[in-house]
Chain A
């Protein structure tokens, strides 16, 4: 059973850079799956942030522009997310998730429990 575990700073100040890690167990980030980060502000809906494949290909939500970067460490089996110049609007629970590997279908089949990030001065 694939398990994902996010970790992060918890509390941040505006303008700082957010760095998150997602450790994958029971599976490999080098498998034939894409991997994503998704966030959810308190009391609100889900927002897709970015995805990555072990080839190094990555794609981003245009709404976040150049502030976001996703990466993967295959040797340590984890994903990372970096978000620069955070504001209160970046306060959210951040999830990492694995994409289903069935060709031509879409869905995120395994999720971490999420890590809460609060941006406050």
Chain B
């Protein structure tokens, strides 16, 4: 069973700064099998990045996804006030079709 580990658990930054969120998988996965979500309190998750690096419809270009193998990154180039939220990575386990896993999340908070 694949495990996704996100770091840091909490990231404290100020608007305008750059945010770098990490997602490490316990085994190698295809980078196109990685997705990133944003979730605010009381709301459903919102897809930010799918296929590893493709922004979902309506997502600003300050959000970008990268990585390969077991190390993946979500970068927010210049934080806006509305970006402070929880972030989750997700992947499908390569070689074991159709089993999905989520990371435990990174909380991005205002410093």
**Chain A residues engaging chain B, CB cutoff 8 angstroms:** 36, 38, 45-48, 51, 59, 61-62, 95, 100, 102, 104-109, 111-114
A-B pairs with beta carbons under 8 A, tally: 79
Minimum distance in angstroms from B30 CB to a CB of chain A: 8
* A residues near B97, Cβ cutoff 8 Å: 59
Judge whether B102 and A102 touch: CB under 8 Å. Answer: no
Judge whether A45 and B103 touch: CB under 8 Å. Answer: yes
Complex: chain A residue closest to B102, CB-CB: A46
Minimum distance in angstroms from A116 CB to a CB of chain B: 11
> Which stretch (B13-21, B48-56, B68-76, B77-85) binds chain A?
B48-56
* A residues near B32, Cβ cutoff 8 Å: 104-106
Minimum distance in angstroms from A17 CB to a CB of chain B: 24
Complex: chain A residue closest to B6, CB-CB: A45
Judge whether A100 and B50 touch: CB under 8 Å. Answer: yes
Judge whether A62 and B99 touch: CB under 8 Å. Answer: yes
Judge whether B44 and A113 touch: CB under 8 Å. Answer: yes
Given contacts A45-B104, A45-B105, A100-B50, A106 and B34 within 8 Å (CB-CB): yes
